[in-house]
């Protein structure tokens, strides 16, 4: 788990994804697991689909077959985790799909940026 960060580096990764714009209906033949909370997503349920790609090395067979990049199996996120993903992304945070649990990131966000207990209401006399 990487945690919340506002820094999205273009580092050297094995694979990358393109951020989805909206929810989708799971239209696979079988149920899938949420890549965040690991809950089951049933066929026909609302989810978020992450299309993934892998960069191919120039000296690999994959490069000769697919070119610079090849498609990987997509990741899916349940509706609840997808809500958290879209909210945190809209706030400018970067997440590591497949290793970060969105519910844990939400808790981290509330801990860091949520209302503070030490703030007391001021009364006007």
pLDDT at residue 50 in the model: 94
**Overall pTM > 0.85:** no
Cα 82 to its chain centre, rounded Å, is 8
pLDDT of residue 48: 96
Name, in order, each residue with C-beta under 8 angstroms of 103's C-beta and a sequence gap of 6 or more: 36, 37, 80, 81, 84
What per-residue confidence (pLDDT) applies to 10? 60
Q: Average per-residue pLDDT in the chain?
A: 81
Name the pairing type of β-strands 69-78 and 32-33: unpaired
What is the mean pLDDT, run by run of 10 residues, along the chain of 125 residues? 66 75 94 95 96 74 63 92 92 85 90 68 50
Q: How far is 70 from 9, CA to CA, in rounded Å?
A: 21
Alpha-carbon torsion angle 85, 87, 88, 90, nearest 10:
120
- CA nearest to 5, candidates 116, 109, 114: 109
């Amino acid at each position: 788990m990487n945690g919340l960060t506002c820094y999205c580096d273009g580092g050297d990764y094995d694979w990358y994804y393109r951020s989805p714009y909206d929810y989708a209906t799971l239209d696979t033949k079988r149920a899938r697991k949420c890549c965040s909370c690991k809950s089951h997503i049933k066929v026909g349920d609302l989810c978020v689909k992450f299309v993934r790609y892998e960069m191919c090395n120039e000296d690999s067979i994959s490069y000769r077959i697919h070119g610079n990049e090849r498609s990987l199996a997509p990741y899916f996120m349940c509706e609840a985790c997808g809500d958290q993903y879209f909210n945190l992304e809209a706030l400018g945070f970067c997440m590591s799909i497949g290793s970060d649990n969105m519910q844990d990131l939400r808790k981290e966000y509330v801990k860091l940026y949520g209302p503070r207990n030490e703030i007391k209401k001021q009364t006007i006399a």
